[in-house]
A and B are shown apart, each in its own frame.
Chain A
Amino acid sequence: ETGVTQSPTHLIKTRGQQVTLRCSSQSGHNTVSWYQQALGQGPQFIFQYYREEENGRGNFPPRFSGLQFPNYSSELNVNALELDDSALYLCASSFGTSELHEQFFGPGTRLTVL
C-alpha cells in the first residue's frame, strides 16, 4: 500500500505567476483535501475533492482552484501568486468525506513566492 505523495518537494515562483501542485492519494482513497500551512501556523483547509467534484471550500479566494482525476489524484492551482502564498501545501487523502474518516497526509510542497 503506497502512501500519499506530493510533487514537487520545493518550488520557487515570483509574484504574479501561476503554480500547479500535484498529489497522489493513498491506494483505495477517493477523497483529497488540500491545506495551506504558513510558517509557524497550523494547516488551514483550502478545499476538498470527492469523485472529481469540489466538495467544500475554506476561506480562500477563487484564484485557488483544483482538480481531481479519475484515479483520484489531484492538483492544486494557484493563479496570480502573492507573497503571502508562501507556505507548505499539504495534501491529505481519505476514504470518504465524513468527519469520521481519518486523513492521511503527504509530505507537502514548500512554495516560496519572491
Chain B
Amino acid sequence: AQSVAQPEDQVNVAEGNPLTVKCTYSVSGNPYLFWYVQYPNRGLQFLLKYITGDNLVKGSYGFEAEFNKSQTSFHLKKPSALVSDSALYFCAVRDEGGGFKTIFGAGTRLFVKA
C-alpha cells in the first residue's frame, strides 16, 4: 500500500539559513513524488515533482528536492529561507501504473523567523 511520512510536525529556521523538510514514502512500483505548499485559507499550490531523470528536482520559488531511491526519501530544500516561506508543506506520492490516486503526508509547518 502507498504511504507518505513527514516525520516533523514543525520546522523552525532563521531567515537566510537553509531549510529542509523531510519526506519518506512507500509504494509498490516506481514513485511519482510531489511537493505542495498551503497558505492560510488557500488551496494547495504545486511546488515541484519527480517523475524520472535527475534525482535533484528544481521547482518554484527557489525550492528543490532530492529523490533518494535507496532511502525512499524526497526531502524538500531551499538554500536560503524567507519569512514568506512560512506555510504548511505537503509531500505526496502516486504509484506508477496506479493512476491518479494521490496519497498525501500529514504536512509539516515551516516557520521562518526574521
Contacts and interface: CB of A to CB of B under 8 A. Distances in A.
A74 interface: no
A101 B100 contact: yes
B42 A107 contact: yes
A106 B106 contact: no
Interface string A74-114: 00000000000000001010100111111111111000000
Contacts of B4: 42
Interface in B69-112: 90, 92, 94-107
B43 A98 contact: no
A47 B91 CA distance: 20
Given A99-B94, A105-B44, A43 B49 contact: no
Chain A CB within 10 A, most for which of B4, B49, B95, B107: B107
Give chain A's interface residue range (CB within 8 Å of chain B).
Answer: 20 to 34
Given A102-B46, A107-B42, A31 B100 contact: yes
A92 B38 CA distance: 14
A62 interface: no
Interface string B1-39: 000100000000000000000000000000010001000
A56 B101 contact: yes
B56 interface: no
B104 A43 contact: yes
Nearest to B49: A102
Chain A CB within 10 A, most for which of B49, B97, B103: B103
Chain B CB within 10 A, most for which of A42, A90, A104: A42
A100 B32 CA distance: 8
A10 B84 CA distance: 26
Given A40-B106, A42-B106, A43-B104, A99 B32 contact: yes
Interface of A: 4, 6, 31, 33, 35, 40-45, 48, 55-56, 58, 90, 92, 94, 97-108
